[in-house]
Structure 1
């Protein structure tokens, strides 16, 4: 075995040999490195084996729990603080567990990053939202958000998927619909990049260039929803008049959610707007690399997490151009 089983397993994954990667992880479990268990868990989750994968996913780095941790025990009105973790998309995806937690008898509070609280407050079951830096009375229990699928014994068949579970502000929605009413044809939002500081971003973010093939589809008007460093890829480009940049006006997730409600379709890479569109129940086409994040599973074009999503997957070694080409063909059929 390689001195670095994680690197060896990743080489097998890059070669498309998931069984070989899993064998490496299994053989290395005795080394005591929690990352090995976490990676094995993610590989099992990717293949839809939630029964074995979710317990191993508990070896991921987790937020510190200062008080008592909720571990699935019965509740009778106690306040449980769900501690948001990892990225915005993770918070949007897993906050759905507030409803089943409330059904267990909890008063549910959600802790999250600044800018997301207004939307998460609309989730069924949520009684309070605490953004980073805000104070709250000590809760009775705390639980990391991404531990909830494990604690509820989630399987592919029992994923809470009552969509939508986020609600955009009605006044903002009306404003965006009024603003976009002048544009004809199918209104398509575009997102091509995630957080560039994440070390695996190259595997999930196509960038703007492959998306340019979409812009000549007749009968559609395109709107950039892109935020962050990837938005700079628009600078200095000569784009057709049917491509409008909304990014500067999307000052928080509430604005982005309202804009999505005024669109007919969102096309997004694997990043938070894909989760936002899915949680709102908006039609969303998600562009995925050959080895996607575990939540998108394998060999399927739908998602049990987001019933309104359609998945477009790159084949191993083919790059982003062909998958965007297939998406373009589907878009032509959609507007035709």
Structure 2
């Protein structure tokens, strides 16, 4: 999460904050109800109304750009009248999810610059060579648009794979089912202690690989005899590794989105209070055709979904 000073001047009155916040809440409710495209149109209005007057005038409405320069930005204002407004960056998983719309952007008569985390650049540049990806805000542009609002403009959702690694990686051959495990996310409530995966890691005829970065790798020491590990670089490299595996089992994090975006079977373990994008009480998602959802029945109970995953795995091996 990043804090930005100039956001404090973007809203005009406490009354307008209430109205703008209601757009966000309505959009979230519509997503839970499965009305995804309608939700994104409301969310897009929310984003537009948090911008300055000048930015609102230049906010793209989906019409012909006539050669104008379009800047896709990655920072948005979250209105919270209880704890205070703050800005947030689009998450890595979010950008992987909305990258399905980059092919539409590439067809526009415009110079498109997309601001996103550098770890995504190599993967995105390979798949969308006509677009410009940068870690910095461009100095000149004619229009701007928020990266997470792209569904509101293109009004479609396709679950077909849309990304691939630039270079293959070849792991040693095996007759076992190769499974990638990602157990930690940047959001604590989405993370699961690696120890909780023991019922899965004990299964025979499976070869397990840790698809994990960061401090959570410290948990590997106890399970090095069951979990192989390769040092992951950026998302292009990770996509190549994931492509070599048969299945990914992941918490709700960027690895899950990456696997879905390249068409790899991925089973996602969701907390009770899951992100709205995953709907409610469903095991499938419109976003990825190869994804299966396993949900917590109550808070802090990861044993149940882990048991369900273990049972499903036994049926495969």
Aligned to 1:14: none
Partners of 1:230 and 1:49 lie apart in 2 by: 36
- Is structure 2 residue 178 aligned with structure 1 residue 187? yes
Query: What secondary structure is seen at the aligned counterpart in 2 of 1:268?
Result: strand
| Unmatched 5+ stretches in structure 2 | 1-14, 75-88
- Is structure 2 residue 220 aligned with structure 1 residue 234? yes
Aligned to 2:64: 74
Structure 2 contact 157–287 (Cα < 8 Å) conserved: yes
Shift of 1:318: 6.7
Query: What secondary structure is seen at the aligned counterpart in 2 of 1:189?
Result: strand
Aligned residues: 285
Aligned to 1:57: 43
Alignment of structure 1 residues 173-252 onto 2, 5 Å: 173=168, 176-177=169-170, 180-195=171-186, 201-235=187-221, 237=222, 239=223, 241-246=225-230, 249-252=231-234
The partner residue of 1:147 within 149, 152, 170 is 149
Shift of 1:67: 8.8
Greater shift, 54-63 or 271-280, is seen at 54-63
Query: What secondary structure is seen at the aligned counterpart in 1 of 2:284?
Result: coil
Shift of 1:68: 2.8
Output one character per residue of 1:284-311: Cα deviation in whole Å (capped at 9) or x when no partner: 1111112211111122211211111111
TM-score calculated relative to the size of structure 1: 0.76
| Unmatched 5+ stretches in structure 1 | 1-28, 196-200
Structure 1 contact 112–129 (Cα < 8 Å) conserved: no
Partners of 1:332 and 1:127 lie apart in 2 by: 44
Shift of 1:183: 4.1
Output one character per residue of 1:130-189: Cα deviation in whole Å (capped at 9) or x when no partner: 3214x856233221111211223x3xxx313331x112022xx1xx31xx2244401101
Q: Provide closer, same or farther for how the CA distance between residues 288 and 139 of structure 1 changes in structure 2, counting only shifts above 3 A.
A: same
Query: What secondary structure is seen at the aligned counterpart in 2 of 1:142?
Result: strand
Partners of 1:30 and 1:320 lie apart in 2 by: 41
Query: What secondary structure is seen at the aligned counterpart in 2 of 1:39?
Result: helix
Shift of 1:46: 2.1
What's the C-alpha RMSD, in Å, of the aligned pairs?
Answer: 2.7
Alignment of structure 1 residues 1-336 onto 2, 5 Å: 32=18, 34-50=20-36, 52-58=38-44, 59=46, 68-84=58-74, 85-124=89-128, 127-133=130-136, 138-152=140-154, 154=155, 158-163=156-161, 165-170=162-167, 173=168, 176-177=169-170, 180-195=171-186, 201-235=187-221, 237=222, 239=223, 241-246=225-230, 249-317=231-299, 319-335=301-317
Aligned to 2:5: none
Structure 2 contact 71–113 (Cα < 8 Å) conserved: yes
Shift of 1:107: 4.1
Q: Provide closer, same or farther for how the CA distance between residues 256 and 67 of structure 1 changes in structure 2, counting only shifts above 3 A.
A: farther
Shift of 1:109: 3.0
Partners of 1:244 and 1:257 lie apart in 2 by: 17
Output one character per residue of 1:92-132: Cα deviation in whole Å (capped at 9) or x when no partner: 111211222344544433221112111112335x5133321
Greater shift, 141-150 or 33-42, is seen at 33-42
Query: What secondary structure is seen at the aligned counterpart in 1 of 2:126?
Result: coil
Partners of 2:133 and 2:269 lie apart in 1 by: 32
Aligned to 2:12: none
